[in-house]
Structure 1
Amino acid sequence: MKVRLVTEGFFTLLDDEQIEQTLIAPEDGFYWIDANLEDLAILQPLFGIHDLAVEDCLNDEEQRPKIEVYSDHYFIVMNSIRFDNEDIYLRALNIFIGQHFIITITNQKINELRLLKPTLWEQEVNRPDYFLYHLFDLLVDNYFLVGDRIEDKLELLEEDILIHPKKNHLTEIIGLRGEILWVKKMLGPQREVIGSINKRDLHLIDHQLQKYFGDVYENAIKVSESFETYRDLTGNLREAYQSGLSARANEIMRVFTAITTIFMPLTFITGIYGMNFEIIPGLDLKYGSYILLGIMAILGIVMFYIFRKKDWL
């Protein structure tokens, strides 16, 4: 657990023994407590965190983004997104915001919290609600970055499928589509959380700041629409994959048909001269077998040339 006093964007790190100091509002700035799940045992009785909020934080299952309003603080759940090794990860970020403090509780490292520090310094942030705004802004912007990488992945898949469709392409498409649908399911509640901060009368959020949350809400809508587009693109890729397989099968069948057609007259000739009759034209010729093989070779080459010229092979 890290306890920081944030004053005009500058950080002063406090000792864990000074945690009780955070109960009293500082003369200037606010306290930011960056904690993990184990620290809830200390923070709950200290800040009067509701049992249901603690239960939500400790729940191993995926948490839907939400906001719960208590008398002296709000409890907010948001999801950070990562795209590593072609997989999408959503990581829960639990936030408690009060008049003079903000508590962030995570089970895993959230990259946006690290990126937030220089932003707080540049903007000279001095209130927890402004901290919350910049954090939400970073969270939503990161969805755009992940969306760009997903779009690049879809474009590469499309190129590979059009050039040479493979069996593993279908597995990639189905896996990526499932992850996109999973993210899209979480985007709806997350968008509503941001929208509620923009529209509701929340006494811990500066009224002048709410219009900035409105801008973040518009970006959240764009993110949701983008992932809707990605879902449709995966469906188009699956259709392209099926079409590619059909075209490839047709190409193979065309080659096999042409080869079979070339060998049909050759088989006809060998069939005639393989019959057990005493009188067959050319049997008495000294070089009859060579002549026959030559005719067969010429016939095969001529048919192959005709098929190539007509682009049948």
Structure 2
Amino acid sequence: MYYTLHARLKKTEPDYIQTDPVQHDSDQTNSGQTNPASPVSTLNNPICIENVLTLSPAQWEKQKVSLRFPPYAGLENTIIRSCKAEIYPRYISGSLCIPDRKRLLETSFCFTFYINESSIVFVSKDSVPDRIIETMIHRYESQDMSPELFLYGFFSEFLTDDMELLESYERKLFLLEENAMRGNIHDLMPRLLKNKRELTRLRNYFEQIDDMAGQLQGNVRNYFDPERLQLLQLIGDRACRLQQVAQQSIDYCQTLRDFEQAQSDHKQNKTMQLMTVLTSVFFPLTVITGWYGMNFSHMPELDARFGYPLIIAISLGVIAIEFWILKKRKII
């Protein structure tokens, strides 16, 4: 798809886009003229990015030279793993790896973008950039569109509902905490680990958006109006705030994990304490049983009339005394 930034963001026909082949340095030397696409001219002449294109990888390979990009543009984005922006002598290259909010740990929407003195080009295998731009056409139909406002609106679409998403994670963690306080911690650890992994994925994504906005805001190639760079800063500030909220939720997950571990340790200690009490109670009875189980011939208690009831009374007395001592020392 082809779009123009002339006063308003709108879709246009491919023939409207002016694409002149780039003039190489050797041609500049032979002709004695300065290439208008070269970095030298961008420092002296005002630059106006007027065109936005969304291309497939095959279309990008065919048209990048006519769009005034060098033939090697795009080689740096063979594998897309993160959101980033990189400054090159004749263009800006970047990539976006947007996590699917419904399946944060599984899929991502990935595509690349390229910026030079005349065009912003998105290269994607699907229609994600087109859907975003179509939404922006209706949202900014009454506003004058500039490259800075376009990038602000485009990147903002990927951060629109993220604060509500982070708040939903906070509510989940509050519910887990309430269940843990009631003692329902049998499935707490797996749920905590899942939430922590998803929040970490979001935090890294927000951090990458912040870094990318900082690279664009630097305006090294002088492609943007210095008076409008604040729009790019707003993207970075927004991503930074989301990153901080995500980090707070991650820390909260760690707090709940420590609480669960403390509860497990306390439960284990109570079990060990019970085993110790039982061992202490039955140890004297074990001694009595072993003593009278030796079956010697001359043990007067074996032939005594009240020997058996006497042993029972002694055993019960020993147990009573032991429980009294344990209760007095607040062991039980």
For this structure pair, what is the TM-score category when the shorter chain's length is used for normalisation? Answer: 0.5 to 0.7
Q: Secondary structure at the match of 1:45?
A: coil
For structure 1, which segment, 246-255 or 119-128, has the greater mean C-alpha deviation from structure 2 after superposition?
119-128
- Is 1:281 the counterpart of 2:298? The answer is no
RMSD: 4.6
Q: How does 1:29-68 map onto structure 2 within 5 Å?
A: 32-57=52-77, 59-60=78-79, 62-63=81-82, 65-68=84-87
Displacement of 1:253 in angstroms is 0.5
From 99, 102, 105, give the equivalent of 1:87. 105
C-alpha change, 1:148 and 1:56, in structure 2 (3 Å) is farther
For structure 1, which segment, 124-133 or 144-153, has the greater mean C-alpha deviation from structure 2 after superposition?
144-153
Larger Rg: 2
Contact 2:53/2:121 (8 A) holds in 1: yes
Distance in 2, matches of 1:117 and 1:206, equals 24
Q: TM-score, normalised by structure 1?
A: 0.68
Q: How does 1:28-177 map onto structure 2 within 5 Å?
A: 32-57=52-77, 59-60=78-79, 62-63=81-82, 65-68=84-87, 74-85=92-103, 87=105, 91-97=109-115, 101-106=119-124, 110=128, 114=131, 117-124=134-141, 126-152=145-171, 154-155=173-174, 163=183, 169=189, 173=193
Give the unaligned 5+ runs of structure 2.
20-48
- Is 1:257 the counterpart of 2:252? The answer is no
Distance in 2, matches of 1:44 and 1:226, equals 40
C-alpha change, 1:10 and 1:87, in structure 2 (3 Å) is same
Distance in 1, matches of 2:320 and 2:139, equals 78
C-alpha change, 1:50 and 1:223, in structure 2 (3 Å) is farther
Q: Deviations over 1:168-227 (max 9, x none)?
A: 827964x76667666656655532332344453765434553223232222222233334
C-alpha change, 1:309 and 1:103, in structure 2 (3 Å) is farther
Displacement of 1:114 in angstroms is 3.9
Q: Secondary structure at the match of 1:33?
A: strand
Opposite residue 45 of structure 1, the aligned amino acid is: V
For structure 1, which segment, 129-138 or 297-306, has the greater mean C-alpha deviation from structure 2 after superposition?
297-306
Opposite residue 50 of structure 1, the aligned amino acid is: P
Q: TM-score, normalised by structure 2?
A: 0.65
C-alpha change, 1:239 and 1:273, in structure 2 (3 Å) is same
Q: Deviations over 1:77-131 (max 9, x none)?
A: 3442334456276654422346765332235675x86466434312215444422
Q: Secondary structure at the match of 1:276?
A: coil
The structure whose residues are more often helix, as a share, is: 1
Opposite residue 76 of structure 1, the aligned amino acid is: G
Opposite residue 18 of structure 2, the aligned amino acid is: L
Q: Secondary structure at the match of 2:224?
A: coil
- Is 1:226 the counterpart of 2:221? The answer is no
The structure whose residues are more often strand, as a share, is: 1
Displacement of 1:279 in angstroms is 2.7
Q: Deviations over 1:12-61 (max 9, x none)?
A: 5x7xxx6444336xxxx96543334343223323423334431133x225
Displacement of 1:281 in angstroms is 2.8
Displacement of 1:292 in angstroms is 5.7
Displacement of 1:155 in angstroms is 4.6
Give the unaligned 5+ runs of structure 1.
none
Contact 2:213/2:235 (8 A) holds in 1: yes
Contact 2:3/2:53 (8 A) holds in 1: yes
How many residue pairs align between the two structures? 300
Q: Secondary structure at the match of 1:47?
A: coil
